[in-house]
Amino acid sequence: MIIRGLIKKGVYFDSVSLMRVARELNDLDGVIDSSVVMGTSENKAILGAVGLNLPHFEGSTETDVLIGIKARNETAAESALQHVEQLFNDLLKKKDANKDAGAYDLEDALTRLPGANLSLISIAGRYAAGEAMKALKKGLHVMIFSDNVGIEEEAELKTYAHSQRLLMMGPDCGTAILNGIPLGFANAVIPGDIGIVAASGTGLQEVSSVISNNGGGISQAIGTGGRDIKEAIGGIMFLDALQALREDDNTRVIVLISKPPHPSVQLKIAAAIRNFSKPVICILLGGDPEIMKEAGAISVKNLEEAGLMAVAVSKGGNPEGIGSQLAARSFEIQRTADQLSLQCKGKYVRGLFSGGTLCDEAQLLLKHMIGDVYSNVPLNPEFKLADMWKSRKNSIIDLGEDEFTVGRPHPMIDYTLRNKRILEEASDHETAIILLDVVLGFGSHPDPASELVPVIMKARETRPEILFIASVTGTEKDPQNRKVIIQKLENARVIVMPSNVAAAELCGQIILRLSQIIQK
């Protein structure tokens, strides 16, 4: 009988791995007994009692792994030692495969990727501006994904970037597509000749997806961050991005997306597009379209229309045809609402949104159909929910607002909060419809249907009559595949509409009918 052993010094393996090595050793031919334990003095005493303590174990410490082997002969012992070395090497390789740490800081990143020309910054807001300025001073374009950056800092960054002819996208810029590279929550869209400037992340996603899904393509999509169009910033980057698209040979059609800009900024944008050689389509959600129309832009009413219009213009089609197409669909929506309202119980719609602009768009449309709705971000301040955790009458909630996202990932990534809220809304017998936006793309949840469907099924256990209406922003090329997600949702009897605005319109039509039924 031969006793052999070895020490693995200062390398930590988890307990399960150690037990697995021990089990494999014991199963080897010619091995009578073995042990794989940490080198505590107490374990050494036990090893001594069973004849497995070796003289060279004495120098080991309790952070070393001791391997003792009792074998029938020298060959079996040698073979077991080689095998155990191999097992530990495999464990170490597995660890090393995961050890390629990312860059430590901007300098390190530039050393690792010389020639990089853009820095994407996603760190705590109070530190983002400093890092952004460092990047700008190194001649990099910058996209700040982080929020909570001061508006004075934003103005300083953008003024500097403008002076250097650099893009300074953000803060709070969730989406961009530059030279076909998606950044942040962007979607996998077809390349083409339509350029987008957006002070709205999900607005950009919805429009670029509509374009891609309807045969158009994107040249560049530049996000500016929502505050760029405020008076304090003066639209610096919105105007620079517009100018960049004007000079870009691959861009033939331009789409501008934002919430209503400050009047002074809107005048600047209008002045910039006057006498533009390229067609400009403009969607200012809730803003006055006339100023832009007078400046020569094609003003549209919603995000879907902006996308469809851009495709029509890009393809040399008939832009007027888009209006008739959408009017015909509205008629279909009314017929669907006639049928669905008969099965409905409850009175109200509860919208649970992950996209801020999609939430605004739904509120705007519903306001025209059924009047103001309650929200944590209402269009009319009088309809601000007193308690954002509790809906009231018709309510449309933006779950991506800071108040919901402190300490947790964005609801496009993490569905926990929305799922909880779905069940709460469904348990309210006044809820007739739950309206959802599902936003796909890089960075979003890898399979939103796997999150939503079980919750929807659970909600139906107590409220089988409740309607779920949704839209899915994204494309078939997205990692999640829009078609697959729609199919999964439809299998769970979710009514999936072609766009956010169509989903909101269907809700509005049903609520109108329900209120009439109740009045009768």
Partner 1 sequence: MKRPAITEVDPPLGSACAGDDLASGSFSLHSRFSQVVNFVNDQKELVYLTSNPEFMASNGIFFPYIPLEKISALTILEEVISLNGCVYQRKDLLVIDTHLSFPESSRTAFENSLFSIPEVYLSLFPEKSLVFLLNPGIEVQFTSDFDRQFRLNACESAHLIREGKILDGLLRIKGTGYGLSPSGDDFIAGFLLGLHVLGGFGGHDFLFLRDKIFDQTVGDNLLTVSFLKNAKKGSYFLPLKKVLFLLVHDDKESLEIALKQLLAIGATSGADLLTGLIFSVKYMRDL
- Residues 80-139 close enough to bind partner 1 by CB under 8 A: 95, 98-102, 104-105, 122-124, 126-127
Q: Which is nearer to partner 1, 104 or 389 (CB)?
A: 104
Stretch in the footprint of partner 1 (CB under 8 A) among 17-25, 174-182, 273-281, 473-481: 17-25
User: Distance between CA 426 and CA 441 in Å, rounded?
Assistant: 28
From 1, 9, 42, 429, residue interacting with partner 1 (rule: CB under 8 A): 42
Q: Which is nearer to partner 1, 38 or 167 (CB)?
A: 38
Q: Determine, following the binding rule CB under 8 A, whether residue 12 of this chain makes contact with partner 1.
A: yes
Give the count of beta carbons closer than 10 Å to the beta carbon of residue 152.
10
From 8, 18, 233, 305, residue interacting with partner 1 (rule: CB under 8 A): 18
From 113, 181, 386, 406, residue interacting with partner 1 (rule: CB under 8 A): 406
- Counting residues that bind partner 1 (by CB under 8 A) gives 51
Q: Determine, following the binding rule CB under 8 A, whether residue 73 of this chain makes contact with partner 1.
A: no
Q: Determine, following the binding rule CB under 8 A, whether residue 327 of this chain makes contact with partner 1.
A: no
Q: Which is nearer to partner 1, 413 or 512 (CB)?
A: 413
Positive or negative CA dihedral for 379, 380, 383, 389?
A: positive
Q: Determine, following the binding rule CB under 8 A, whether residue 372 of this chain makes contact with partner 1.
A: no
Q: Which is nearer to partner 1, 70 or 513 (CB)?
A: 70
Residue type, 418: R
Stretch in the footprint of partner 1 (CB under 8 A) among 16-24, 199-207, 209-217, 474-482: 16-24
Stretch in the footprint of partner 1 (CB under 8 A) among 41-49, 71-79, 132-140, 334-342: 41-49
Asked if residues 196 and 241 have their Cβ atoms less than 8 Å apart, the reply is no
Q: Determine, following the binding rule CB under 8 A, whether residue 389 of this chain makes contact with partner 1.
A: no
Q: Which is nearer to partner 1, 18 or 245 (CB)?
A: 18
Q: How far is the CB of 351 from partner 1 (least distance, A)?
A: 21
From 47, 54, 242, 397, residue interacting with partner 1 (rule: CB under 8 A): 47
Q: Which is nearer to partner 1, 33 or 401 (CB)?
A: 33
User: Distance between CA 510 and CA 508 in Å, rounded?
Assistant: 5
Asked if residues 308 and 214 have their Cβ atoms less than 8 Å apart, the reply is yes
For 447, the enclosing helix (H) or strand (E) is none
Q: Determine, following the binding rule CB under 8 A, whether residue 8 of this chain makes contact with partner 1.
A: no
Q: Measuring CA to CA, which residue among 163, 167, 174 is closest to residue 199? A: 174
Output b/e per residue, 97-125; b: 16+ Cβ within 10 A: eeeeeeeeebeeebeeeeeeebbbbeeee
Q: How far is the CB of 428 from partner 1 (least distance, A)?
A: 23
Q: Determine, following the binding rule CB under 8 A, whether residue 416 of this chain makes contact with partner 1.
A: yes
Site string for partner 1, 221-240 (x = CB under 8 A): --------------------
Q: How far from 209 is each of 328, 340, 471, 473, CA to CA, in Å?
A: 22, 28, 12, 7
Q: How far is the CB of 131 from partner 1 (least distance, A)?
A: 9
Positive or negative CA dihedral for 421, 426, 431, 436?
A: positive
Q: Determine, following the binding rule CB under 8 A, whether residue 62 of this chain makes contact with partner 1.
A: yes
Asked if residues 353 and 400 have their Cβ atoms less than 8 Å apart, the reply is yes
Q: Within its chain, how far is the Cα of 89 from the centroid?
A: 39
Q: Determine, following the binding rule CB under 8 A, whether residue 247 of this chain makes contact with partner 1.
A: no
Output b/e per residue, 65-90; b: 16+ Cβ within 10 A: bbbbbbbeeeebbebbbebbeebbee
Asked if residues 33 and 108 have their Cβ atoms less than 8 Å apart, the reply is no
Q: How far is the CB of 47 from partner 1 (least distance, A)?
A: 7
Q: Determine, following the binding rule CB under 8 A, whether residue 313 of this chain makes contact with partner 1.
A: no
Q: Which is nearer to partner 1, 36 or 142 (CB)?
A: 36
Q: Which is nearer to partner 1, 107 or 294 (CB)?
A: 107
Q: How far from 231 is each of 212, 242, 264, 351, CA to CA, in Å?
A: 33, 18, 7, 31
Q: What pairs with residue 298 in β-bridges? A: 281
Positive or negative CA dihedral for 38, 43, 45, 48?
A: negative
Asked if residues 300 and 286 have their Cβ atoms less than 8 Å apart, the reply is no
From 180, 321, 409, 464, residue interacting with partner 1 (rule: CB under 8 A): 409
From 4, 5, 8, 52, residue interacting with partner 1 (rule: CB under 8 A): 52
Beta-carbon-side half-sphere exposure of residue 264 (alpha carbons within 13 Å): 8
The residues, ordered by sequence, that sit 6+ positions from 516 with a Cβ below 8 Å of its Cβ are none
Q: Which is nearer to partner 1, 260 or 409 (CB)?
A: 409
What residues make contact with partner 1 under the rule CB under 8 A? 12-16, 18-19, 22, 26, 33-38, 40-43, 46-47, 49-52, 61-63, 68, 70, 95, 98-102, 104-105, 122-124, 126-127, 406-409, 413-414, 416-417
